[in-house]
């Protein structure tokens, strides 16, 4: 799950490689490295940790050469050390890799027996030795790569640089994405168009199984069978600017603050503001009336957005929803209805498990819808119908604005489904849409609670465990609150359905465990309030997040956070904000790396 770039430049290439890698750090930041050709010889700089360490290494000892490859790593095989950092190289070839070579052990044993000396614990190094071996036996670089690819099992995108070949780069993809860019006397390879945006907007996406041989003035693409093929070149709309933090200390804080605006932008794509009716974007229209069921699949935070949507589709459209964590979906072997709709939710559009689920559903004859934030992503390109979120670039590894934008899209889709299936009247639609239109204002008001939440975060930073409780659509928000806290503050946290607490987890409650209760004053409030009393009776310290009416019935709490009153339908988008802020400020108190927490990556492209 790493980022790769390759460039045949007109001038010194190392700064360009770093420029591309900056835009790929979201795919991993355990180590980074580049290799270039200096008078035909492969030379490398590699560094453990973030890209800035590699930049420092290059500043201290710059690399010459106009041709090169680069990598930013999320460790799968082998610790995040310099020795395991890519590019991996022999005298004759250097390679960068995103993905996993599943049969690397067997290949490593075979190559070791033939005399190859391995210097890392990675799966990638076998690729360098395989190609090197073929070159030593007299194969051309093209043939050597072709032979090596035949030996590899797993998912990968690869870029190769060859000693003595200043005008040649070879790339290959199977499972993991790879794009190529066309410049003025320069050519580029990259994990996505974002990496190549500083250099070109003319992009060709390789298809699964393709490999490509690039020189400065020629591009030859071959399919898996080795036949020369043409792939369309498109103009990418990805902006080349590196997004900055503005006045914020972290991207996450900026992205939380942007939510009223980006949710507004997203809603405008799905709602006709003048008529107050749902209107799906052009190319994203879909009729839900003929469906028996809806299958939703996603990972992490996006999965929690799907959990909220299940309540909405079932209530407003009487449409039964099956929802799965994407990494589990295929193993459950659910019976799928050909012609049915499978809905994938993904910020990056590159999550390997979600993509594998998409392909599985497609193979079963289902139609594929995608709620996706990156329009050029693989999931967006492979879906039949795209329902775009307009969150803009999300840099913070912990997803915030993409989540609320996903909820906004799913809310609009649930209303559309309710109308298509004749469950909602025109009047119902108008009411629900009116509550969506109010959202940006209510979200902006909720953000004003930040100073109160910041104070509370000091208490949370001393906790070892935190529980989050909610009922109905507040339950997935409790799960999301717990996920946000653990991923950026490293404090253990769990989200529970409030009614489930007494079936086990209440044993964890004592005066050291803060319990965050999400309870809008709706039809479920009384029941959640009883669960709150059960916690209080055992010395638990409650933080209640509720509205004005709920606060009046709060009883004894450590703190009560009062969010603006809203229609119950839209409360998940409002209650998401205090839990995001609580996680953020707790992490800031603890001094963790908020935007790039340990062990994580923004885009998870391995299964």
Which residues are designated catalytic?
Answer: 2, 602
For residue 192, what is the DSSP state? S
List, in sequence order, every beta strand (DSSP E) within 418-549.
Answer: 465-470, 492-497, 514-518, 541-546
The Cα-based distances of 605 to 25, 89, 556 in angstroms read: 13, 23, 46
The nearest distance, CB 411 to ligand F6R, in angstroms, is 17
Residue with smaller CB distance to ligand F6R, 90 or 580: 580
Q: How many residues does the chain have?
A: 607
Residues near 222 by beta carbon (within 8 Å), at least 6 away in sequence: 146, 210, 211, 212, 213, 228, 229
CA 551 to chain centre: 36
Owner of token pair 């030795």 = 129
- Helices 426-437 & 439-447, crossing angle to 10 degrees? 30
| Cα torsion 513, 518, 522, 523: sign | negative
Q: Which one of 76, 90, 266, 351 is in contact with ligand F6R (CB under 6 A)?
A: 351
Does the footprint of ligand F6R cover residue 346 (CB under 6 A)? Answer: yes
What is the distance between the alpha carbons of residues 209 and 173, in angstroms, rounded to a whole number?
6
Q: CB under 6 A: which stretch of 232-240, 314-322, 341-349, 435-443 binds ligand F6R?
A: 341-349
Count of residues that bind ligand F6R according to CB under 6 A: 15
* Residue 408 interacting with ligand F6R (CB under 6 A): no
Return the number of the residue (68 or 369) whose C-beta is nearest ligand F6R. Answer: 369
Residue 403 beta carbon to ligand F6R: minimum distance, rounded to whole angstroms: 7
Nearest Cα neighbor of 336 from 304, 376, 292 is 292
Binding to ligand F6R (CB under 6 A) within 89-108 occurs at: none
Q: Which of 25, 487, 547, 595 is close enough to bind ligand F6R by CB under 6 A?
A: 487
Q: Output phi, psi for 336, to 5 deg.
A: -110, 145
Q: Is 606 in the site for ligand F6R (CB under 6 A)?
A: no
Q: Which residue has the tokens 């960068």?
A: 96
Contact 52, 105 (CB under 8 A): no
**Using CA atoms, how far apart are residues 372 and 347, in angstroms rounded to an integer?**
5
Which residue from 336, 604, 605, 606 is in contact with ligand F6R, where contact means CB under 6 A?
604
Of 425 and 599, CB closest to ligand F6R: 599
Q: Which of residues 281-320 bind ligand F6R (CB under 6 A)?
A: 299-302
Q: Least distance (Å) from ligand F6R to the CB of residue 295?
A: 16
Minimum separation from the CB atom of position 458 to ligand F6R (A) = 23
Candidates 600, 78, 177; CA nearest to 88 is 78
For residue 54, state whether it binds ligand F6R (rule: CB under 6 A). Answer: no
Q: How far is the CB of 318 from ligand F6R (least distance, A)?
A: 28
Identity of the residue, 8 or 579, whose beta carbon is nearer to ligand F6R in the bound complex = 579
Indicate whether 595 belongs to the interface with ligand F6R (CB under 6 A).
Answer: no
- For residue 604, the minimal CB distance to ligand F6R (Å) is 5
- Report the alpha-carbon distance of residue 208 to residue 74 in Å, rounded: 22
Burial class (CB in 10 A: 0-12, 13-18, 19+), 422: exposed
Comparing CB distances to ligand F6R, the nearer of 497 and 601 is 601
As measured in angstroms, the least distance from the Cβ of 300 to ligand F6R is: 2
Phi and psi torsions of 43, nearest 5°: -125, 150
Q: Which residue is nearest to ligand F6R (CB)?
A: 300
Cα angle for residues 246, 250, 255 (degrees, 5° grid): 75
- Minimum separation from the CB atom of position 432 to ligand F6R (A): 25
CA distance 75 to 450: 35
- CB-nearer residue toward ligand F6R: 524 or 594: 594
Binding ligand F6R (rule: CB under 6 A), the pick from 399, 404, 473, 474 is 399
Q: Which two tokens stand for residue 235?
A: 């103009």
**Whole-angstrom Cα distance, residue 423 to residue 136?**
70
Q: Which two tokens stand for residue 122?
A: 């990675």
Tokens for 238? 């990805």
Say how far residue 277 (Cα) sits from the centre of its chain.
Answer: 31
Q: Is 347 in the site for ligand F6R (CB under 6 A)?
A: yes
Please list the residues that pair with 324 across neighbouring strands.
297
Shorter beta-carbon distance to ligand F6R: residue 395 or 433: 395
Please identify, using beta-carbon distances, which residue of 351 and 571 lies nearer to ligand F6R. Answer: 351
**Touching ligand F6R, residues 354-383 (CB under 6 A):** 354
Which CB sits closer to ligand F6R, 424 or 604?
A: 604
Residue 23 Cβ, how far from ligand F6R at the closest point, in Å? 16
Which residues contribute to the site for ligand F6R (CB under 6 A)?
299-302, 346-348, 351, 354, 398-399, 483, 487, 603-604
């Amino acid at each position: 799950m790493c980022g790769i770039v390759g460039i045949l430049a007109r001038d010194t290439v190392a700064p360009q490689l770093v420029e591309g890698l900056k835009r790929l750090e979201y795919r991993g930041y355990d180590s980074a490295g580049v290799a270039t050709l200096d008078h035909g010889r492969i030379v490398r700089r590699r560094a453990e940790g973030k890209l800035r360490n590699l930049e420092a290494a290059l500043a201290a000892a710059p690399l010459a050469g106009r041709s090169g490859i680069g990598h930013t790593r999320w460790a799968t095989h082998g610790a995040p050390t310099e020795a395991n950092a890519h590019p991996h190289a022999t005298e004759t070839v250097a390679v960068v890799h995103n993905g996993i070579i599943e049969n690397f052990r067997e290949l490593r044993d075979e190559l070791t027996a033939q005399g190859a000396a391995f210097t890392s614990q990675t799966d990638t190094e076998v690729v360098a030795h395989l190609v090197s071996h073929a070159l030593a036996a007299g194969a051309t670089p093209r043939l050597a790569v072709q032979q090596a690819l035949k030996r590899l099992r797993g998912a990968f995108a690869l870029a190769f640089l060859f000693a003595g070949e200043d005008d040649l780069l070879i790339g290959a993809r199977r499972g993991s994405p790879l794009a190529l860019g066309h410049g003025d006397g320069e050519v580029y390879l990259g994990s996505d168009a974002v990496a190549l945006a500083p250099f070109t907007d003319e992009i060709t996406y390789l298809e699964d199984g393709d490999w490509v041989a690039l020189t400065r003035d020629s591009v030859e693409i071959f399919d898996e069978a080795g036949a020369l093929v043409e792939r369309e070149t498109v103009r990418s709309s990805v902006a080349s600017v590196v997004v900055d933090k503005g006045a914020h200390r972290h991207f996450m804080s900026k992205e939380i603050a942007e939510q009223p605006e980006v949710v507004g932008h997203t809603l405008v794509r799905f709602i006709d503001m003048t008529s107050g009716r749902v209107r799906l974007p052009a190319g994203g229209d879909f009729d839900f009336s003929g469906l028996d069921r809806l299958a939703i699949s996603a990972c992490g935070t996006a999965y929690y957005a799907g959990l909220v949507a299940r309540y909405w589709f079932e209530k407003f459209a009487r449409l039964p929803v099956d929802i799965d964590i994407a990494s589990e979906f295929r193993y459950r072997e659910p019976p799928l209805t050909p012609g049915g709709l499978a809905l994938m939710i993904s910020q990056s559009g590159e999550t390997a498990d979600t993509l594998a689920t998409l392909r599985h559903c497609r193979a079963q004859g289902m139609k594929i819808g995608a709620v996706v934030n990156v329009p050029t992503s693989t999931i967006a390109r492979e879906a039949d119908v795209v329902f775009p979120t307009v969150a803009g670039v999300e840099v913070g590894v912990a997803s915030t604005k993409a989540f609320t934008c996903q909820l906004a899209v799913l809310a609009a889709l649930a209303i559309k489904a309710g109308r298509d299936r004749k469950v909602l009247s025109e009047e119902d639609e108008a009411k629900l849409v009116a509550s969506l239109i109010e959202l940006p204002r209510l979200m902006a008001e909720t953000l004003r609670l930040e100073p109160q939440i910041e104070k509370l975060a000091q208490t949370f930073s001393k906790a070892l465990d935190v529980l989050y409780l909610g009922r109905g659509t507040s339950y997935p928000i409790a799960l999301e609150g717990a996920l946000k806290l653990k991923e950026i503050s490293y404090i253990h946290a769990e989200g529970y359905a409030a009614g489930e607490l007494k079936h086990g987890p209440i044993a964890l409650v004592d005066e050291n465990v803060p319990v965050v209760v999400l309870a809008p004053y709706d039809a479920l409030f009384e029941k959640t309030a009883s669960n709150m009393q059960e916690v209080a009776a055992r010395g638990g310290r409650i933080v209640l997040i509720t509205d004005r009416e709920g606060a009046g019935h709060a009883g004894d709490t450590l703190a009560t956070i009062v969010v603006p009153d809203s229609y119950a339908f839209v409360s998940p988008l409002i209650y998401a904000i205090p839990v995001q802020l609580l996680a953020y400020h707790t992490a800031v108190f603890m001094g963790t790396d908020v935007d790039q927490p340990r062990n994580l990556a923004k885009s998870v492209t391995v299964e």
